[in-house]
Amino acid sequence: MEIEPIDRTSLLDLLAYCDREYEEEGMEELVDKLIEEEKKKQPFEMGKYLEQIPDYQTTLKGTNGLLNKEFERISSGKPLNSFNSSNYIVSKPKDKSLKDPKQWKKSIKRLELSTALQLQRNENLTLMSKFSSNSWLDYNRGLGAYSNNIRKRTQQIEEQTLDLNRARKFEQEQITNKLKRFKSRWYETVDRNLKTERACKNLEKEIEELEKKNLKK
């Protein structure tokens, strides 16, 4: 039994040091807009969801007579009626009913019902003995194979997710080290430039002093 491929992008863990989409300009406004649109589709008052959902009895009331009777029975706390087996008891009319055609017809009808019930039971037993155990075994084997495939697929996705997160973390750490090196070089360059600028100013002062001395001579 094969499992349909799963979109891996929806299962990736978000990394706090890498995923910053929510901080992008305009993203917060977009999220708030989507939330407002969803609230318009479901106009429920906050904290009172269940009170605003119609009761199941009022929803189904009037659609079916048997359901209405069952609702009334449950509301009144009456127990469920037991199975009436009298319709399946086969017996001939007794005493004065022996000469009543209607009673004989009722007895014949009960006999037909009882015969049909026994035939159905026999068919069910035959089908059960032939297919039931094997069918359940096949079904259970199928469920076991499906469960194993899901377990393997889940393990693969978890491993892929961990590998991807490790790679992304490693890349971020490498970039961080590069930034630190560049920052250190920048400070060194700035320091050299300042020293060079200071030395140039000192030389300019010395040149001015020498020129003044030469003019005095």
The pLDDT confidence band at residue 196, using thresholds 50, 70 and 90, is very high
pTM score above 0.85? no
Among 36-40, 136-140, 142-146, the least confident range:
36-40
Q: Is the pLDDT of residue 16 over 50?
A: no
Q: What is the mean pLDDT of residues 146-173?
A: 93
**DSSP assignment of the chain:** -------GGGGPPP-TTT--GGGSTTHHHHHHHHHHHHHHHS-PPTT-HHHHSPPHHHHHTTS-HHHHHHHHHHHHTPPPPPP--GGG------GGGGG-HHHHHHHHHHHHHHHHHHHHHHHHHHHIIIIIHHHHHHHHHHHHHHHHHHHHHHHHHHHHHHHHHHHHHHHHHHHHHHHHHHHHHHHHHHHHHHHHHHHHHHHHHHHHHHHHHHHH-
At residue 46, the pLDDT reads 62
Quote the pLDDT of residue 6. 42
46-74 tens-digit pLDDT: 666 666 665 555 555 556 677 788 888 88
- What is the pLDDT at residue 8? 39
Average pLDDT score over residue span 139-156: 91
Residue 33 scores a pLDDT above 80: yes
> So where are the chain's domains?
27-81
